[in-house]
Amino acid sequence: MNLHMAGRKALTLLAIGIAFVCSSWGVSENGRPNVLVIIADDCTHNDLPLYGGQNAKTPRIDALAKESLIFNKAYVSEAMCQPCRSEMYSGQHPIRNGAAWNHSGSRLDTKTLPHFMGDLGYRVGLAGKVHVTPKAVFPFERLEGFDISCVRSPTQEHETNSIEQFMKRDDEEPFCLVVALVEPHVPWVMGDRSQYPDDEIKLPPYMVDTPTTRDAYARYLAEITYMDGQVGEILDTLESTGKAEETLVLFTSEQGAQIPGCKWTNWDNGLHTALIARWPGRIGAGKRTDSIVQYADFAPTFVELAGGDTRDHEFDGTSFIGTLFDGSKPHRTYAYGLHNNIPEGPAYPIRTVTNGEFRYIRNLSPDEIYIEKHLMGVRGNGALNNPYWSTWVFESGETEEAEAIVKRYIKRPAEELYRTSGDPFELTNLAGDSRHSAIKETLSRELDQWMHDQNDPGIPMDTREAHAAAKKGKHIY
C-alpha cells in the first residue's frame, strides 16, 4: 500500500470514528446542540410532585419530565444563590472559584460559560436573575424579559420576545442560554394562593404546624405553580423557533426554599436539587437515574457536547455525558457541600459529603448556636419575610415535636450522619450509632480529602474579613 492510499484509509477510519462518537453522543456530524438551562429560585426539590411533593401543582414540569431523564441525586455545593450559580457557570466548587459566601465575588481569573462556550462558537446569553459577580468573570449577553430582582414585590411582568429572538438569531451558530427565574424566592406574592386552602396542605415533618406556617407555605406553593407556568412559556417559545429537537434542555430547582431546614443548611433539603434533562431522540424519555451529579459538572458537560476538551480548563466537575445517554452509567461516587454563614448571620461553618445513600455533616463550631437573620421576619425595608418562625419558637414551649424541630435548627452537634435513602428529611442522627461507624469513618475521610484538595481551611474561611475581601474579588485564604 503506498503512502497516498494509506493516508486516505487513515482519514476514512478517522471519519468513521468521529461519526461513531457523534452517534453515540446523539450529536450529528453537521451540528452541535443548543443548550437551554432553566433555573427556579429557592425551590426545595421534594416540594415538586416529581420528587414526591404532595401539594404543589406543576403540570408543565411534570409534562417535561415525561420527555426527559430525571436525576434522583443531583446536588449544589452550597445552598445559597450566588455560590451555587457560580459553581454551575464556572465548573468549580465555591471555594475554588471564590464565591464561598452569599453576596461575594468569584476570583478575577475565574473562567465561566461565556468564555468556555464562546470560544467554541456559541452565543451565550442570560435572562432573568444574575446574582454573580464580577461582570468581567461572567460576561453573559444580557437579555430582557424576566425579572432580575428576586426580592421585588410583586415580580415584574415577564415576556419571551427577547429569548425568542436570541434563539432564532443565527441558524448557523448554536446558542447556550440560561433563563434564571426569580420564583419561588421570597417574598411569596405571585400565583393563585386560593389553589392551596390551608386545611388541605400537607406540611413536611421538619415544619411546625401553625396557622401562620400554613399560610406562608400556601403562598410558597402558589409561587411554585406560577414558576411552573413560566417554564411552560419558555418551552413553548423554544418549540416555536423550530429548534426544540436540536436543543438540550435542563431544568433545575437551585437550592432549597427559604424555610428553616432548607436554604442556608447542609442538610439534603438544602443541597439536593431537581434536575431534568431533555433532548428529543437523544436522551431516553421518562426515565430516572441514581447517578450522582453536582452543579460543578454542568460546565464540563456543555464543553464536551460543544466539541471542546475539558482538559483545557481547571474544572472541579467532570462531564456527565455518559449518564445523559445511558442513565444506568454512574458518574460521581460522592457529592460535597459547605456553608459559610456570613453575611446571613454570625459565623457558622459547616461541611458535608454524601454518597447518595448516607450523608455525613461536620459542624465546625458546634458550641455556637446557629443564627440566620432572615428568620427574624423583617427585611431591610420593613416587609415581613418569615413571620412563622416566632410561632415555631412559641410552640416549642408547648409540644415536644415543636421543641425538637426548633432545637435541631439552632443547636447542632459536631457530627451528623443520616441514612438519607430511608430518612429523606434527615431527622434521625445516626452519628452516635456504632452500627454505622464504618460508613461514618469512610465519609469523614472523604470530606477531609475534599477540604484538602479545595485548600479549605475550615473555620478561618467564615470571617467577615474573608467575606469582605471576596466581595472585591480578592481572597485572603
* Tens digit of each residue's pLDDT (9 = 90 or more) over 198-239: 999 999 999 999 999 999 999 999 999 999 999 999 999 999
Q: Residue 382 — very low, low, confident or very high, per pLDDT cuts 50/70/90?
A: very low
Which residues, 6 or more positions from 142, have their beta carbon under 8 angstroms from its beta carbon? 125, 126, 127, 130
Q: What percentage of the chain reaches a pLDDT higher than 90?
A: 87
Mean pLDDT of 442-446: 98
Listed residue (459, 274, 252, 445) closest to 353, CA to CA: 445
Question: For residue 292, what are the β-bridge partners?
Answer: 73, 332
Listed residue (123, 108, 291, 258) closest to 183, CA to CA: 258
Angle 95-271-71 (CA atoms, 0-180°, nearest 5)? 115
Task: Label residue 91 left, alpha or beta by phi (over 0 means left) and psi (-120 to 50 means alpha).
Answer: left
The whole-angstrom separation of Cα 455 and Cα 466 is: 14
Write out pLDDT tens, residues 66-88.
Answer: 999 999 999 999 999 999 999 99
* pLDDT number for residue 472: 81
* pLDDT number for residue 400: 97
* pLDDT number for residue 3: 36
* Mean of per-residue pLDDT scores for the chain: 92
Q: What percentage of the chain reaches a pLDDT higher than 70?
A: 91
Residue 30 has pLDDT above 70, yes or no: no
Angle 204-205-207 (CA atoms, 0-180°, nearest 5)? 80
Question: Per the structure block, which three cell numbers stand in for 249?
Answer: 434542555
Question: Do 134 and 473 contact (CB within 8 A), yes or no?
Answer: yes
Q: Residue 1 — very low, low, confident or very high, per pLDDT cuts 50/70/90?
A: very low
* pLDDT number for residue 121: 96
Q: Is the pTM of this model over 0.85?
A: yes
Mean pLDDT of 264-279: 98
Listed residue (373, 381, 331, 382) closest to 355, CA to CA: 331
- CATH number of the structural domain 32-332: 3.40.720.10
Listed residue (243, 108, 226) closest to 175, CA to CA: 243
Listed residue (205, 143, 154) closest to 177, CA to CA: 143
* pLDDT number for residue 384: 53
Task: Label residue 254 left, alpha or beta by phi (over 0 means left) and psi (-120 to 50 means alpha).
Answer: left
Cα atoms in the 13 Å half-sphere on the side-chain side of 103 = 8
Q: Residue 9 — very low, low, confident or very high, per pLDDT cuts 50/70/90?
A: very low
Q: Residue 357 — very low, low, confident or very high, per pLDDT cuts 50/70/90?
A: very high
DSSP assignments along 177-232, one per residue: EEEE--TTSSS---S-GGGS-GGG----TTS---HHHHHHHHHHHHHHHHHHHHHH
Residue 135 has pLDDT above 80, yes or no: yes
AA identity, residue 221: L
* Region of poorest pLDDT, from 113-117, 270-274, 382-386: 382-386
Write out pLDDT tens, residues 395-428.
Answer: 999 999 999 999 999 999 999 999 999 999 999 9
Mean pLDDT of 99-109: 93
Question: Per the structure block, which three cell numbers stand in for 92?
Answer: 468549580
Which residues, 6 or more positions from 257, have their beta carbon under 8 angstroms from its beta carbon? 42, 43, 44, 47, 184, 220, 263
Q: What is the dihedral of CA 276, 281, 287, 289, to 10 degrees?
A: -70
Q: What is the dihedral of CA 382, 383, 384, 386, to 10 degrees?
A: -90
Q: Residue 181, Cα to own-chain centre: how many angstroms?
A: 13
Write out pLDDT tens, residues 137-182.
Answer: 999 999 999 999 998 889 999 999 999 999 999 988 999 999 999 9
Q: Helices marked H in 37-188 — which ranges?
A: 59-66, 81-90, 94-97, 113-119, 161-168
* pLDDT number for residue 31: 67
Residue 379 has pLDDT above 80, yes or no: no
Question: Per the structure block, which three cell numbers stand in for 223?
Answer: 409561587
Domains of the chain by residue range:
32-332, 338-471
Burial 145-169 (b: 16+ CB within 10 A, else e): bbbbebeeeebeebebebbbebbee
Helix axis angle, 400-410 to 389-396, nearest 10°: 120
Residue 385 has pLDDT above 90, yes or no: no
* pLDDT number for residue 178: 98
Question: Do 344 and 331 contact (CB within 8 A), yes or no?
Answer: no
Task: Label residue 350 left, alpha or beta by phi (over 0 means left) and psi (-120 to 50 means alpha).
Answer: beta
DSSP assignments along 303-352, one per residue: HHHTT--GGGS--SS---HHHHH-TTS--BS-EEEEE--TTTSS---EEE
Question: Do 195 and 55 contact (CB within 8 A), yes or no?
Answer: no
